[in-house]
Amino acid sequence: MEIVEYGQAVTIEIDHLTAQQIIDSSELWRRQLKLKEQPFRLTKVGGEKYTLETRGVAGFIRVKNITLEIAPKFLNRNTAGHNWRTAMWRFLAYGRGIEALSQTSGHHGVEEGISDVLADMFLTSLRGASTRGYALGYRQKNLNSSFLSGRLDSKKYSKILPVTGRIGIVATRLTNDIPTNRLLKWAGNELARTVESPERRKRLQLWADELPNVSAIAPFVEQVPSPTHQYPHLVHAIEIAKLLLEDREVGYSEGVQKLPGFLWDSDDLFERATRRLLTEACRPLGYNVSKRNHALAKTTVSGIEKITHTTPDIDVWNGEKSVFIADSKYKNISNNPSNEDFYQILAAGRVRSVPVVALLYPSTGAGINEREYKPIGYGSPAIVLVTTIGLESFSTRNQIRMLRDEVTSWMARAISTPEP
């Protein structure tokens, strides 16, 4: 069942226990993603019928036998047609700095759910991995051995005498039960819990049997090294699994059933995507892009100097000099930006003496469009560009390249604007 973020509520039929699980899940996801409001709004309309709305998130969750697909408000069936899922996943991959996900494709129908599409991409990435080999590594193990290999296990000193012919040791052993494989197995199991296709669920379960001695407990993301050099055939699958793990479902108290699924903070994702877009677009121009903290104002209280700061989402710089500042705003922009948005970007531009600043908003369609505002008064910034980025530009890799080239030209014009 599809539901659009900030869109019209959908009606679902669930029992009271499941309704409470959705409410509990909403609060846990809110804390996990640090959202300002509840991502799910559930309202009872009579009997076992409820209406459900979503805010600030995209992704999918499994409720009983229903998978709820939460589409971004700027990228859904109404705005992008039946290919909206493909565009959504490419946008997600791009925002998370992943190239492999954009290049991987499974064999799925256009009407299949997001979780099934992702599961198919995951399985396609692992095709032939059993013959080409999974990752191996060394782990310390506590063993009882007839010879000394490694070091004595200090916890078993008391059992050295009387002599039994075996001693307790701590030694390293080659194993496939390492973070890389645990991540893959965990991701496969989680996807199996969310897919709608019984055949695809069985394929995921059969694949997990290829790693019988590997724990399915998820490792920490930072424990999983890049497989690019040693296991390049696992790159796509590992990046998909990392993507899921970074936004894994939050912990539930023991005894409470989980609602399987994965959600992403739309605001954070748009900020990531725009920063990467400008980073790549500025590379041919010789500029660097980052998110940097700048002193905004200072005062002295009881002899102690205190400083307030501003941190624009995008700071384009050359050497130590900022040449362009931008802020990403995941919201509709039909008329003028809010005063709050203007104040924020003007403050950042002033402290860095940047002549041109920009407010970036998402939109339907493809490409970029801009309106130019000129602040009243003197000094920098002299121009505020209100620019929309069409998220359908993420539908194909070629469209992403076209968008990047368009932004490069746009940035070149903005940066070349003379100071007032």
CATH number of the domain to which 386 belongs: 3.40.1350
- Residue range(s) defining the domain that contains residue 294: 268-415
> Are 212 and 332 in a shared domain?
no
Please report the pLDDT score of residue 248 as a whole number: 57
Non-local (6+) Cβ contacts of 22 within 8 A are 14, 40, 42, 52, 63, 259
> Are 277 and 160 in a shared domain?
no
Tell me, yes or no, if the pTM score tops 0.95: no
> Are 124 and 145 in a shared domain?
no
- Based on the number of CB atoms within 10 Å of its own CB, is 342 exposed (0-12), middle (13-18) or buried (19 or more)? middle
Q: If we measure between CA atoms, which residue out of 188, 75, 79 comes closest to residue 129?
A: 188
Phi, psi (deg, nearest 5) at residue 398 = -65, -40
> Are 370 and 317 in a shared domain?
yes
Last-in-domain residue among 121, 148, 175: 175
Confirm whether 360 is domain-assigned. yes
Q: How much is the CA Rg of the chain, to the nearest whole Å?
A: 26
Confirm whether 79 is domain-assigned. no
- Residue identified by tokens 């050497």 is 319
- Based on the number of CB atoms within 10 Å of its own CB, is 381 exposed (0-12), middle (13-18) or buried (19 or more)? buried
Tokens read off for 22: 């959705």
Please report the pLDDT score of residue 379 as a whole number: 82
Confirm whether 333 is domain-assigned. yes
Tell me the β-bridge partners of 321: 318
Please report the pLDDT score of residue 278 as a whole number: 95
Q: How many other CB atoms sit within 10 Å of the CB of residue 319? A: 8
SS3 of residue 107 by DSSP: coil
Query: What is residue 259's DSSP assignment?
Result: -
Q: Is the dihedral of CA 76, 80, 83, 87 positive or negative?
A: negative
> Are 279 and 224 in a shared domain?
no
Please report the pLDDT score of residue 255 as a whole number: 37
Please report the pLDDT score of residue 390 as a whole number: 93
Tokens read off for 145: 């051995």
Pairing mode of beta strands 49-54, 10-13: antiparallel
Please report the pLDDT score of residue 106 as a whole number: 46
Non-local (6+) Cβ contacts of 27 within 8 A are 38
Pairing mode of beta strands 57-63, 383-391: unpaired
Give me the average pLDDT of each 10-residue run along the chain (420 residues).
89 88 86 88 90 90 80 87 80 79 50 73 82 74 59 61 61 75 89 83 89 86 78 82 68 46 88 94 93 88 88 91 94 88 92 93 93 89 94 87 94 81
d(CA 381, CA 33): 34
> Are 404 and 336 in a shared domain?
yes
Q: How many domains does the chain have?
A: 3
> Are 188 and 331 in a shared domain?
no
Which strand (E) or helix (H) includes residue 359?
strand 356-363
> Are 323 and 189 in a shared domain?
no
> Are 156 and 202 in a shared domain?
no
Confirm whether 90 is domain-assigned. no
Q: If we measure between CA atoms, which residue out of 318, 295, 314 comes closest to residue 407?
A: 314
